[in-house]
Amino acid sequence: MEENFMGLLDELNLGDALKGVLGQIEAAGLPATINAVLAKTQYHDLNGLVAALQKGGLNAQVQSWLGPRGNIPITEDQLKAVLGNAQAQDFARHLGLPVDATLKILAQYLPDIVDKASPDGVIRAK
């Protein structure tokens, strides 16, 4: 049934629009989900993860997220290099996703999540 529905949406050229809206809804809940996962890891919160990224060689990227200018992106490979296999697997397990998908989501959304959590350059605790 879902295939028929998605096929109909695609025929009506609504598939991408609907997927975009669903993606926005999912992205809106993502910061809370990531914070909940971080609470179960060695990082404890967004500040802990940001500190690890800075120590792991991604200071320029993190500073761009905290600052008023554009966010420098990160890649899945950069995240995996800093987190390590065990932590990447731990994140994935808590999210219920494969490791590759978890790293992709984190790489895509983490800059914006940190940016929004730090309007004055400092991450605000939630």
pLDDT digit string (tens) for the chain, length 126 residues:
444 444 544 554 444 544 444 454 455 577 888 888 889 888 899 999 999 999 999 999 999 999 888 899 999 999 999 999 999 999 899 888 899 989 998 999 899 999 988 888 888 765
CATH of span 30-117: 1.10.10.690
Domain boundaries, the chain: 30-117
DSSP string, 10-51: HHTT-HHHHHHHHHHHHHHHHHHHHHHHHTTSTT-SHHHHHH
pTM over 0.95, yes/no: no
Q: Taking a C-beta distance cutoff of 8 angstroms, is the pair 78, 58 a contact?
A: yes
Distance CA 42, CA 71 (A): 25
> Under 8 Å CB-to-CB from 68, ≥6 apart: which residues?
121
The per-residue pLDDT for range 36-72, each reduced to its tens digit, is 888 988 889 999 999 999 999 999 999 999 988 889 9
**Residue 15 burial (CB count, 10 A):** 15
